[in-house]
Amino acid sequence: MNGYRELASELQRRIDSGEIPVGGTLPKITDLMETYGLARQTVRDAIKVLEDDGLVVAVRKRGTVVRHRTPVRIPLSRYRIVMAPGGTKGPWETATAAQGLDGYMKLIKVDVVQADDDIARLLGLQAGDDLIRRLRQAIIRPDDVVQVQSAWYPRALAEAAGIATTSKIEGGVYGALTAAGHPPSTASERVQARIPTDEERAQLRIGGRVSVITVERVTRDQAGRPLEVLRVVGPSDRLDFTYDDLPLMEA
């Protein structure tokens, strides 16, 4: 073996075979140098190939860890299931539980912000109006971040529904809105793919050649009033959005 690409292929073979399992760490650089008789920079270049392809990620105090790559199926039906107030699972927890995965939402921040022109337009408000913003991460335990979410709500609505709090919203936001007399009725989604920012790469632990899927959803009540703007970013190799049984003709 005399090149970094050969070493990258060998390490990928060991990962794909399960010899180095998901969540496990690659051997130390010095060990790889000794095992394969290669220079330090050659080993570093091989690991960089694996990082760029999304096979491994550098984790502080752990080393180079084999990344989870199992896609998470996210069906549209997850919303219908959580509409009734009093439930204990939100949409993400519902979707992951259906696959035997232990998913949960981690609340990062809740704050009051002023609507910029774009969010104001989507919510039918004026720029500068007060909003409640909720920043969250969709995680599979123990620490596999699969989505980064930002959501905005008219302040008065959020306070009335009890979602302007840093406490966990049992059953999810849709259940809370329904309980407050504002049941979500329709949702419009825009799905795109792009190159991630450096901050997104760090949050999602992905390499340079892994693109992200972005989802922008506007949820409205029966009168067409916007209730929520949600923006989601996640690795393209981890998210499987499924839209089943959509009507192709108007009733």
Q: What is the pLDDT of residues 195-232, one digit of tens each?
A: 999 999 989 989 878 999 999 999 999 999 999 999 99
Model confidence band, residue 78 (pLDDT cutoffs 50, 70, 90): low
**Cα–Cα distance measured from residue 92 to residue 195, given in angstroms and rounded to the nearest whole number:** 24
| pLDDT for the residue numbered 74 | 85
| pLDDT for the residue numbered 79 | 62
| pLDDT for the residue numbered 250 | 64
Of the two residues 45 and 243, the one the predictor is more confident about is 45
Structure tokens at 199: 């901050």
Q: Going by C-beta distance under 8 Å and a sequence separation of 6 or more, which residues neighbour residue 247?
A: none
Q: Is the pLDDT of residue 103 over 70?
A: yes
Provide mean pLDDT across the span 115-134.
Answer: 98
Structure tokens at 134: 């909720």
pTM: 0.85
DSSP 107-144: EEEEEEEE--HHHHHHHT--TT-EEEEEEEEEEETTTE
**Cα–Cα distance measured from residue 24 to residue 73, given in angstroms and rounded to the nearest whole number:** 24
The alpha carbons of the chain give a radius of gyration, in whole angstroms, of 21
Q: Give 4-66's CATH code, choosing from 1.10.10.10, 1.20.120.430, 1.10.3720.10, 3.30.1370.140.
A: 1.10.10.10
Structure tokens at 102: 């232990």
Q: Alpha helix locations (H) across 130-208?
A: 155-161, 173-179, 198-204
In tens, the pLDDT along 32-68 reads 999 999 999 999 999 999 999 999 998 888 899 999 9
Question: What percent of the chain stands above pLDDT 90?
Answer: 71
Structure tokens at 131: 């909003």
Q: Is the pLDDT of residue 80 over 80?
A: no
**Cα–Cα distance measured from residue 221 to residue 219, given in angstroms and rounded to the nearest whole number:** 7
Q: Give 72-242's CATH code, choosing from 3.50.50.60, 3.40.1410.10, 3.30.70.120, 1.20.1510.10.
A: 3.40.1410.10
Domain range annotation of the chain:
4-66, 72-242
Place of tokens 């995965």: 101
Structure tokens at 182: 């504002």
In tens, the pLDDT along 154-163 reads 999 999 999 9
**Cα–Cα distance measured from residue 104 to residue 241, given in angstroms and rounded to the nearest whole number:** 18
In degrees and rounded to multiples of 5, residue 112 shows phi and psi of -95, 125
CA trace torsion 80, 82, 84, 87 (10° rounding):
160
CB 153 within 8 A of CB 131: yes
Question: What percent of the chain stands above pLDDT 70?
Answer: 93
Measuring CA to CA, which residue among 193, 197, 199, 198 is closest to residue 238?
193
The torsion region of residue 92 among left (phi > 0), alpha (psi -120 to 50) and beta comes to: alpha
Provide mean pLDDT across the span 86-94.
Answer: 74
**Cα–Cα distance measured from residue 132 to residue 165, given in angstroms and rounded to the nearest whole number:** 9
Q: Which helix (H) or strand (E) holds 98?
A: none
Q: Is the pLDDT of residue 86 over 60?
A: no
Cβ atoms within 10 A of the Cβ of 121, count? Answer: 14
